[in-house]
Amino acid sequence: MEEKVKISILCELYGKLLTEKQFEFLDDYYNNDLSLSEIAENNGITRQAVRDNLKKGECKLFEFEEKLGLMEKTILQEEKIAVILSELNKIKDKSSDKQVAKILEHIKSELNCLV
Condensed to tens digits (0 to 9), the pLDDT of residues 37-83 reads: 999 999 999 999 999 999 999 999 999 999 999 999 989 988 988 88
33 pLDDT more than 70: yes
In SS3 terms, 15-55 reads as HHHCCHHHHHHHHHHHHCCCCHHHHHHHHCCCHHHHHHHHH
Kindly report the average pLDDT of the chain as a whole number. 89
R_g of the chain computed on alpha carbons: 21
Backbone angles phi, psi at 96, to 5 degrees: -65, 135
pTM beyond 0.85: the answer is: no
